[in-house]
Copies of this chain bind each other. A is one copy, B any other.
Amino acid sequence: MASSKAAVEPLAVGIDIGGTGTKYGIVDHVGNVLFSGSMSTKKHAKVETFIDELHKKVTELIEKAGGAGRMKGIGVGAPNGNFYTGTVEYAPNLPWKGIIPLAKLLNDKFKLPVILTNDANAAAEGEMIYGAAKGMKDFIMITLGTGVGSGIVANGKLIYGHDGFAGELGHTIVIPDGRLHPGTGKKGSLESYASATGVRATTLEMLQNTKTPSSLRNIAAEDIDSKKVYEAAIAGDELAQKVYEFTGRILGLALANAVMFSSPEAIILFGGLTKAGELILKPTRESMEANLIKIFENKIKILVSHLKESDAAILGASALAWEVN
- Report which A residues bind B (CB closer than 8 A): 89-90, 136-138, 152, 154-155, 157, 159-169, 171-176, 184, 186, 253, 256-258, 260-265, 291, 293-296, 299
Contacts and interface: CB of A to CB of B under 8 A. Distances in A.
Nearest to A181: B293
Contacts of A258: 261
A172 B261 contact: yes
A286 to B, nearest CB: 14
A168 B261 contact: yes
Given A261-B172, A264-B161, A291-B186, A166 B154 contact: yes
Contacts of A176: 174-175, 253
Contacts of A295: 89-90, 163, 165, 168
How many copies of this protein are present in the complex? 2
B293 A168 contact: yes
Nearest first, the 6 closest Cβ-Cβ pairs linking A and B are A161-B263, A166-B263, A162-B265, A168-B260, A138-B162, A172-B257
User: Which of A89, A168, A175, A186 has the most CB atoms of chain B within a 10 A radius of its CB?
Assistant: A168
Given A159-B154, A162-B138, A175-B176, A184 B293 contact: yes
A255 to B, nearest CB: 11
A262 B167 CA distance: 6
Contact of A166 (B164, B165, B171, B262): B262
Contacts of A154: 154-155, 159, 161, 166
Contact of A261 (B90, B138, B152, B162): B152
28 contacts: A136-B162, A138-B161, A138-B166, A152-B261, A154-B154, A154-B166, A155-B155, A155-B159, A159-B262, A159-B263, A161-B263, A163-B295, A164-B263, A166-B262, A167-B263, A168-B263, A168-B293, A172-B256, A172-B261, A173-B253, A173-B256, A173-B257, A173-B291, A174-B176, A184-B294, A257-B257, A258-B261, A262-B262
